[in-house]
Amino acid sequence: MNTKAIKTFAPWVLLFAILILWQIICSAFAVSEFIFPSPYAIGQSLIEYAGPIATHAWRTFWVTMAGFGIAVAVGVALGFLIGSSPVLYAAAYPLMTAFNALPKAAFVPILVVWFGIGAGPAILTAFLISFFPIMVNIATGLATLEPELEDVLRVLGARRMDVLLKVGLPRSMPYFFASLKVAITLAFVGSTVSEMNAANEGIGYLLVSAGSSMKMPLAFAGLVVIGAMAMAMYELFAIVEKRTTGWAHRGGTAS
């Protein structure tokens, strides 16, 4: 088996090993489902409540993707604006870092007052928690463009905007895709946290309802669904990254 195949199957092998060990521990020590449900109990809940879980999962998915889409648009625009100016980069970066340090869950009550209970707070929470990595990576990719390269391009007649669009942005693409893989997982976190406090639909709402009803296998099933959706989107961006920025990786080719 070659190295590529090993890397492909290694995560699945590790996952199955963890699940088997988890099941053995729960069975051997007779762990109560209320305390820590076994993979078998979680699987039963996934089957038994497949309809409601699918409905809540779809709500969480489209809310998350809406917030994530806004985050991409705003993050790329702000990143380009900040990264294109060394002065603006130096001025804005500390402020944006301070903003990113604020707990986004604290914004949920404010968003509820502004937009009411529903999809609005979840979309905006997903946006607030996920746009920062995108903005920072785009800005960093542009701001760290080698001065020598820029000087050579200027001598050849390139304008500042030409350098940014034709050299800076392509050079920032690896940073961009790296930020997408981080941001999409954060977006699911943001939407779920908001749904736990300010929604009557979604996986976050399901987690709270299952917990209050003492249905811990169902709550864990909701967590599994969130993890699966986040992992699927992460892998999607990883595939797109390999196909579009293969030149930036050792042994890779863009197609």
Residue 16: its pLDDT value, please?
92
Q: Closest by alpha carbon to 67, among 195, 171, 170?
A: 195
Q: What is the pLDDT of residue 54?
A: 95
* Residue 40 pLDDT: 93
- Between vectors from CA 118 to CA 67 and to CA 71, what angle results, nearest 5°? 10
Q: How far apart are CA 148 and CA 4, in angstroms?
A: 37
Could you write out the DSSP letters of every residue in 128-196?
Answer: HHHHHHHHHHHHHHHHT--HHHHHHHHHTT--HHHHIIIIIHHHHHHHHHHHHHHHHHHHHHHHHHHHH
pLDDT computed for residue 72 by the predictor: 94
Buried residues in 130-154 as b, exposed as e (16+ CB within 10 A): bbbbbbbbbbbbbbebeeeebeebe
Q: What backbone phi and psi angles, to 5 degrees, belong to 159?
A: -85, 170
Residue-level pLDDT, tens digit, the chain, 255 residues = 567 777 777 888 898 999 999 999 999 888 888 888 999 999 999 999 999 999 999 999 999 999 999 999 999 999 888 888 888 888 888 888 888 888 877 888 888 888 888 888 999 999 999 988 899 888 887 777 666 666 666 666 666 666 666 676 777 788 888 889 889 999 999 999 999 888 888 999 999 999 888 899 999 999 999 999 999 999 898 888 888 876 555 555 444
Residue 71 has a pLDDT of 94
Say what the pLDDT of residue 199 is.
82
Q: Residue 165's pLDDT is what?
A: 65
142 touches 79 (CB < 8 A): yes
Q: Are 93 and 82 in contact (CB under 8 A)?
A: yes
State the CB neighbour count (10 A cutoff) for residue 199. 26
Domains of the chain: 63-244 (1.10.3720.10)
Alpha carbons 207 and 28: distance in angstroms, whole number: 27
Cα three-residue angle 87-93-94, rounded to 5 degrees? 115
Of 205, 241, 209, 246, give the one whose Cα is nearest residue 226: 205
